Amino acid sequence: MVDQSAVGRCFTPVTARVEPGRLRYFLNTLGEENPVYRNMDAARAAGLTGMPVPPTYLFCLEMMDVDDPFEMFTALGIDLARVLHGEQSFVYHAPVLVGDTLTFRPSVTSVAEKKGGAMTLIGVRCAVTNQDGVHVADTARTIVVRNEVAA
Amino acid sequence: MTASGDIKAGDRLVHKVFPPITRHTLALYCGASGDHNPIHVDIDFARAAGFPDVFAHGMLVMAYLGQALTDVVPPSRLRHFSTRFVAITQLGAKLTCEGTVAELFAENGERRARLALTTRDDRGEVKLEGSAIVAL
């Protein structure tokens, strides 16, 4: 079971490029037709200098470009089949635009047991910077591990 | 977005209904999002993990909520977006995303609104609860 010793652990930083083709696939999957994501004029009209990404796309970029998408689970000995997503948050400091290259730096910020040890909640935070060193966002997720409880 | 001067607490700004979630959507989202956890696309894996079937990625549901949000708030005005995944979203779920103004306040030299957000399925079960802070 994951314990307090995991708090403070950092994982390999992830460098991700905001590629237009992959973004279009995401937009099409979601039926996203908002022109701000597809049309430069609409993006400019919204006050941006390039085409933005949808609000949750940072989460995807980190997963798409990581060398080992399950590095954290392997490092902490977590069985993928026992993982659920509990909470997710994004704080946006500056625009993320098509063509940007982002760096994600994930680390474990908390570990808590719930329901008498039936679940472990793991908090993971990620600072996100762009190619100019601008701190564009912070993401945070809570991973729920359904522990095997002795009968 | 509605002329910002007109917005007041209790106003419902966000409302969007999405088509039912299909296995095809989950397969596409697996590739589109980089979330390759087989529990969302491989029924054998899902059953072995104790679930009756595959189920939607929480982040797919949050992406729909984000879409409903940026239909009315330009992405450049979004400052914060968070959700709690309250219940697993099953195949076939037809999701309704809603957001109402919870409070208006000033922060970092901007007028901002906090929106209380929910996503429910067609039976009314809450799947996501969240909030967003937007600049007016």
**ipTM of predicted assembly, 2 dp:** 0.94
Residue B47 lies in a domain: no
**Percentage of chain A lying above the pLDDT 90 cut:** 77
* Residue B35 at interface with chain A, using a CB cutoff of 8 Å: yes
pLDDT of residue B4: 60
**Percentage of chain B lying above the pLDDT 70 cut:** 96
Residue B9 lies in a domain: yes
DSSP symbols for A42-75: HHHHTT-SS-B--TTHHHHHHHHH-SSTTHHHHH
pLDDT digits (tens, 9 = 90+) for B62-87: 999 999 999 999 999 999 999 999 99
CATH number at residue B80: 3.10.129.10
Which among B77, B124, B19, B114 is positioned nearest to A95, based on CA atoms? Answer: B77
Residue B29 lies in a domain: no
* Domains delineated in chain A: 4-146 (3.10.129.10)
pLDDT of residue A151: 47
pLDDT digits (tens, 9 = 90+) for A46-101: 999 999 999 999 999 998 988 888 888 899 999 888 988 999 999 999 999 999 99
CB contact under 8 A, B28 and A83: no
pLDDT of residue A36: 97
* Residue B78 at interface with chain A, using a CB cutoff of 8 Å: yes
- Across the interface, of A48, A54, A81, the residue whose CB is closest to B67 is A54
pLDDT digits (tens, 9 = 90+) for A90-137: 999 999 999 999 999 999 999 999 988 899 999 999 999 999 999 999
pLDDT digits (tens, 9 = 90+) for A38-49: 999 999 999 999
CB contact under 8 A, B75 and A22: no
Residue B49 lies in a domain: no
* Residue A36 at interface with chain B, using a CB cutoff of 8 Å: yes
- Helix runs in chain A, H state only: 20-29, 40-45, 57-65, 71-76
pLDDT at A150 over 60: no
Q: Which residues contact B24 (CB under 8 A, 6 or more apart)?
A: none
pLDDT digits (tens, 9 = 90+) for B120-135: 999 999 999 999 999 9
Which among B16, B40, B19 is positioned nearest to B28, based on CA atoms? Answer: B40
Which residue range(s) make up the domain with B115? Answer: 4-22+58-135
CB contact under 8 A, A55 and B81: yes
* Residue A29 at interface with chain B, using a CB cutoff of 8 Å: yes
- Residue B112, burial from CB neighbour count under 10 angstroms (0-12, 13-18, 19+): middle
| Smallest Cα distance from B85 to chain A, Å | 5
> How many independent structural domains does chain B possess?
1
pLDDT at B97 over 80: yes
Residue B41 lies in a domain: no
pLDDT of residue B5: 64
* Residue B83 at interface with chain A, using a CB cutoff of 8 Å: yes
Residue B40 lies in a domain: no
Mean pLDDT to the nearest integer, A30-41 = 97
Cα angle value A90/B112/B66 (rounded, 5°): 40
Residue B8 lies in a domain: yes
